[in-house]
Amino acid sequence: MKKQRILLHVLFFILMAALAVDADDPQELQRRSLLQAPPKIDCPSSCMVRCGRNWKNKMCNKMCNVCCNRCSCVPPGTGQETRHLCPCYDTMVNPKTGKPKCP
């Protein structure tokens, strides 16, 4: 019984030492940050700005909010030239048409 307890303590300390090494590793920290969910943004107000000049304002806002809720990102401005700043938003396509889903 005593041998098992000692073995358990040794394994515990080895595990703790391995975790301490990983905590300082920049690649490990980057990997962990990529696995975390992106921060939530205020989708309705961001989409109102994005769709402000669109001639189909209601449809634009609806689709923008769908994309924003999925990606937690809305590109700045109203034009297509800033879409690349939000890759998830930029690459979402309509499965029927193959055209960009997000305005």
- Residue 71 contacts residue 98 (beta carbons within 8 Å): no
For the chain, the distance separating the N- and C-terminal CA atoms, rounded to the nearest angstrom, is 66
* Confidence grade of residue 18 (pLDDT, cut at 50, 70, 90): low
- Does 22 have pLDDT greater than 60? no
Whether residue 18 is found in the same domain as residue 48: no
Percent of the chain with pLDDT over 70: 76
Is 66 exposed, middle or buried (CB count within 10 Å of its CB: 0-12, 13-18, 19+)?
Answer: middle
> Which residue would you say has higher pLDDT here, 52 or 31?
52
pLDDT at 21 over 60: no
Do 86 and 52 fall into the same domain? Answer: yes
Q: Are residues 63 and 85 in the same domain?
A: yes
**Average pLDDT rounded to a whole number, residues 1-30:** 68
- Whole-prediction pTM: 0.60
Does one domain contain both 49 and 87? yes
Kindly list the distances between the CA atom of residue 57 and the CA atoms of 26, 61, 62, 63, 76, in Å, as whole numbers in the listed order.
44, 6, 9, 10, 17
Give the span between the Cα atoms of 103 and 97, in whole angstroms: 14
| Overall number of domains in the chain | 2
- Give yes or no: residues 17 and 53 share one domain: no
Give the range of the structural domain holding residue 29, as residue numbers without chain letter: 2-35
pLDDT score, position 92: 92
